[in-house]
Structure 1
Amino acid sequence: MHETAHARVPEQKRKVLRHSVRGQILDALRAALVDGELVPGEIYSGPALGERFGVSATPVREAMQQLAAEGAVECLPNRGFRVLSRTPRELAELAEVRALLEVPVMLRLARTVPEASWQALRPAAAATAEAAAAGDLPGYAEADRAFHRAVLRLAGNDQLVQVAEELHRRAQWPLPGAARVRRADLVADAAEHSALLEALIARDLPVVEALVREHFAGS
């Protein structure tokens, strides 16, 4: 009896390949949410999305389960997944929680981190400006998270970085009319990263606090 191609692939390798596909689909779905391709209120089925991305429904369902855990979609038995949207109140609450978490950390870092460490973050700030100038909303969302992640890593607290990343992602999508976000708004938001670095280098604590709170409120 001849072995099938599937059977000849070691179990561990099959798991890695499956995880890789799921990760790619998860990234693609997140980008579609940010860009407004997946519309809040609409219901999407696993098989239909699988056909769209050229994969089976299984990795799509697994990715959607992750998005459900992150609060982006809700599971509808035998129907698929409905994309949720943030209300203005939810966005304000997320901004408040992010400020409560990150402002004290930023102020502590402003007092203790040497200038060279802040200078090293200029490429991350520049990446947000480039994505904003191109009007690349998914690219900007990723670059924005990467910048904040790099700043918070200077605190040396992995749990802080993880929690802040989840809150940040929740604040980014899905948003009503996401595809209509103005490029000028992205450019202005990106400029705040460079301004924040300058304030951190100068150890200007009042400006650091004001910039972080304003940045969250506008995210």
Structure 2
Amino acid sequence: MNETVALRSAVLKRSTTTDDVRERLADEILLGQLEPGSRLDEQSLAQRFGVSRTPVREALKQLAVTGLVEARPHKGVVVSAVTPERLAQMFEAMADLEAACARHTALRMDDSERHALTSLHALSREAATAGDFERYDQLNRDFHALILRGCHNDYLAEAAQSLRLRVTPFRRAQFLNPARIEESYAEHEALVAAILARDADAAQATMRGHLAQAGDASAEFLARPKHPI
């Protein structure tokens, strides 16, 4: 293996490890296993997850962007308290941006992108039928990312993607409720139909409605008594 390939492999492995740590911590926070104010020590977390401190440090930085954790003077990184108002505002802003993307996507997506969208949607059906939470969550991210790229407006897509990254843990939380996976898939079905029909108005309205439902489902899940997966 040459140095370039080895470096790429190391970066990919580190990124995957960071993603794993970030998702596990986010799930524990959203499920109430890590309560607001709890201190998150890098060394302790590294030992618990069996990784070095580097991916833990990177994961905590990413979680800070979402608002799930915060750095406090003389206390280090601690779990934040997410208010219903803040969550509602985040989903409202994201719905407006992604709805605008969906409108342009319906008009601008090329044939290869449309084929990729229908293929992803088919894979999502398999994951939804199997009740595969992790698989559906990943396919959902890919599905929405493809729609953002399909708008062929880099500035709009980048703005939407930036906000989407902040909301990712909360969007993921909704799928801890198995019934939400089926609902989400049905909403995707309507969205795909609008995009394939090049119906910009329907695509925009459907995306906004879809993300409103996602926000409500996330808020409902977070309001429930906390329990393990």
> Which interval holds the TM-score relative to the shorter structure?
0.7 to 0.9
* 1:128 to 2:124 alignment: yes
Between Structure 1 and Structure 2, whose CA radius of gyration is higher?
Answer: 1
Deviation (angstroms), 1:213? 1.1
Counterpart-to-counterpart distance in 2, 1:128 and 1:92? 26
How much identity, in percent, do the aligned residues show? 34
Secondary structure of the equivalent of 2:151?
coil
* 1:94 to 2:90 alignment: yes
5+ residue gaps, structure 2? 215-229
Q: Which amino acid aligns with 1:95?
A: F
Secondary structure of the equivalent of 1:75?
strand
> Aligned pair count?
207
Find 1:213's aligned residue among 203, 208, 214.
208
Counterpart-to-counterpart distance in 2, 1:20 and 1:168? 22
Deviation (angstroms), 1:140? 3.0
Q: Which amino acid aligns with 2:98?
A: E
Q: Using a 3 Å threshold, how does the CA distance of structure 1 residues 57 and 117 change in structure 2: closer, same or farther?
A: closer
Secondary structure of the equivalent of 1:165?
helix
Q: Normalising by the residue count of structure 1, what TM-score does the alignment of the two structures yield? A: 0.75
5+ residue gaps, structure 1? 1-9
Find 2:187's aligned residue among 187, 192, 195.
192
Of 205-214 and 189-198, the range deviating more from structure 2: 205-214
Counterpart-to-counterpart distance in 1, 2:80 and 2:127? 25
Find 1:29's aligned residue among 18, 21, 28.
21
Whether the 8 Å CA contact 1:34–1:141 is kept in 2: the answer is: no
C-alpha RMSD of matched pairs (Å)? 3.2
Deviation (angstroms), 1:34? 5.0
Deviation (angstroms), 1:180? 8.3
Q: Which has the higher helix share?
A: 2
CA offsets per residue over residues 95-127 of structure 1, 9 Å max, x none?
221232222232233234356642331122233
Q: Using a 3 Å threshold, how does the CA distance of structure 1 residues 75 and 206 change in structure 2: closer, same or farther?
A: same
Q: Normalising by the residue count of structure 2, what TM-score does the alignment of the two structures yield? A: 0.72
Counterpart-to-counterpart distance in 2, 1:67 and 1:46? 13
Secondary structure of the equivalent of 1:173?
helix
